[in-house]
Amino acid sequence: MPNQEVMSRFFLYFMPVIISVSAIFFPLGLTLYWFIGNIFMIAQQIVANKVATHKKKAKKISD
């Protein structure tokens, strides 16, 4: 069974390729939905990471 790092690397590099190739055969609306959804998920993750980092720094300062 592959470890988590190998699986993460697979999903990071190969899944966008697989989705892009399969998107050619799907209707434009579905492809656009996937693309916009991924943009929102990336933005959400960036905000969540910044909030978590800010909370860690604030806790470190208060301790």
The predicted-structure confidence for 12-43, as pLDDT tens digits, reads as follows 888 888 888 887 888 888 888 888 998 999 99
Using the predicted structure, report yes or no on whether residue 1 has a pLDDT greater than 60. no
The count of C-alpha atoms lying within 13 angstroms of the C-alpha of 33, restricted to the half-sphere facing its C-beta, is 5
DSSP state of 4: H
* Residue 35 in tokens: 């693309």
* Residue 43 in tokens: 């933005």
Q: Measure the CA–CA gap between 63 and 61, rounded to whole angstroms.
A: 5
Residue 42 pLDDT: 92
Residue 18 pLDDT: 86
> DSSP letters along 28-52, please?
HHHHHHHHHHHHHHHHHHHHHHHHH
